[in-house]
Chains A and B, each alone.
Chain A
Amino acid sequence: MFIEIEDLCFRYPNAPKAVIQDFSVTIEHGEVICILGESGGGKSTVLRLVAGLEIPSKGRIKINEITMVDQSVFVPPEKRGVGMVFQDYALFPHMTVSENIRFGLKKMNNKEKDFRINQMLDLVNLGDYGKRYPYELSGGQQQRVAIARTLAPKPSLLLLDEPFSNLDTELRSKIREEINIILKQTSITVIFVTHDKEDAKAMADRIVILKEGKIVEIVDSILF
Chain B
Amino acid sequence: MRNDLGIQVSPKYFDIMSIYGAVFIFTMVLFPYVYMITRVFLEKQSASLIENAKLLGKNSFEIFVYVILPISRGAILGGATLVSLEVLNDYGVAAHFGVQTFSTAIFKTWFAMGDIDSALKLAAILMFSVFGIVLLEKILRGKKKYNFTSKVRPIVRKQLKGTLASLAVFICFIFFSFGFIIPTLQLLHWSVLTYKKTLNIYFIQLMFNSVWVAFVATLLIIMISIVIANFCRMEGTWFSKLTSKLTLVGYSIPGAVIAIGVILFIIQLDHKLQWLYKMIDPDSITLVLGTSIIMLLFAYVIRFLAVGYQAVESGFEKVGKKFFEASRMLGKNVTQTFFQVDFPMLKPAIISGFALTFVDIMKELPLTLILRPYNFNTLATKSYEYANNEMIHEASIASLIIILVSLCAIYLLYILGDKEKV
Q: Determine the interface band of chain A, counting residues with CB < 8 A from chain B.
A: 20 to 34
A215 to chain B, nearest CB (A): 25
| Cα(A93)–Cα(B327), bound, Å | 13
Chain A, residues 3-19, CB within 8 Å of chain B (1/0): the string is 00000000001100000
Asked whether A82 is an interface residue with its Cβ less than 8 Å from the other chain, the reply is yes
| Cα(A106)–Cα(B333), bound, Å | 13
| Cα(A32)–Cα(B116), bound, Å | 76
Is the pair A82, B344 in contact by a Cβ cutoff of 8 Å? no
Binding stretch for chain A, among B75-83, B93-101, B318-326, B393-401: B318-326
B340 contact set on A, CB distance < 8 A: 103
B319 to chain A, nearest CB (A): 10
Asked whether A2 is an interface residue with its Cβ less than 8 Å from the other chain, the reply is no
Chain A, residues 90-117, CB within 8 Å of chain B (1/0): the string is 1011100000000110100000000000
| Cα(A150)–Cα(B344), bound, Å | 21
| Cα(A79)–Cα(B344), bound, Å | 24
**Complex interface residues of chain B between 217 and 267 (CB less than 8 A to chain A):** 236-237
Is the pair B236, A77 in contact by a Cβ cutoff of 8 Å? no
Other-chain residue from A13, A14, A82, A94 in contact with B329 (beta carbon distance below 8 A) = A82
Asked whether B345 is an interface residue with its Cβ less than 8 Å from the other chain, the reply is yes
Other-chain residue from A77, A106, A150 in contact with B328 (beta carbon distance below 8 A) = A77
| Cα(A104)–Cα(B329), bound, Å | 9
| Cα(A103)–Cα(B330), bound, Å | 7
B206 contact set on A, CB distance < 8 A: none
Is the pair A86, B326 in contact by a Cβ cutoff of 8 Å? yes
Asked whether A51 is an interface residue with its Cβ less than 8 Å from the other chain, the reply is yes
**Complex interface residues of chain B between 308 and 350 (CB less than 8 A to chain A):** 322-323, 325-333, 340-341, 344-345
Q: Determine the interface band of chain B, counting residues with CB < 8 A from chain A.
A: 10 to 19
**Complex interface residues of chain A between 61 and 108 (CB less than 8 A to chain B):** 76-79, 82-84, 86, 88, 90, 92-94, 103-104, 106
B236 to chain A, nearest CB (A): 7
A78 contact set on B, CB distance < 8 A: 328-333
Asked whether A153 is an interface residue with its Cβ less than 8 Å from the other chain, the reply is yes
Chain A, residues 43-63, CB within 8 Å of chain B (1/0): the string is 000000001110000000000
Is the pair B322, A86 in contact by a Cβ cutoff of 8 Å? yes
A104 contact set on B, CB distance < 8 A: 330-331
| Cα(A13)–Cα(B236), bound, Å | 9
B323 contact set on A, CB distance < 8 A: 90, 92
Task: Across the interface, name the chain B residue whose C-beta is closest to A82.
Answer: B329
Other-chain residue from A14, A94, A106 in contact with B236 (beta carbon distance below 8 A) = A14
Q: Do A92 and B329 contact each other (CB < 8 Å), given the known contacts A13-B236, A103-B340?
A: no
Chain B, residues 343-374, CB within 8 Å of chain A (1/0): the string is 01100000000000000000000000000000
Task: Across the interface, name the chain A residue whose C-beta is closest to B235.
Answer: A13
Is the pair B329, A83 in contact by a Cβ cutoff of 8 Å? yes
Task: Across the interface, name the chain A residue whose C-beta is closest to B238.
Answer: A14
Other-chain residue from A77, A88, A150, A153 in contact with B322 (beta carbon distance below 8 A) = A88
Task: Across the interface, name the chain A residue whose C-beta is closest to B322.
Answer: A90
Task: Across the interface, name the chain A residue whose C-beta is closest to B331.
Answer: A78
Q: Contacts A76-B333, A86-B322 given; 13 further ones with Cβ under 8 A?
A: A13-B236, A77-B328, A78-B331, A78-B332, A78-B333, A84-B326, A86-B326, A88-B322, A92-B326, A103-B330, A103-B340, A106-B331, A150-B330
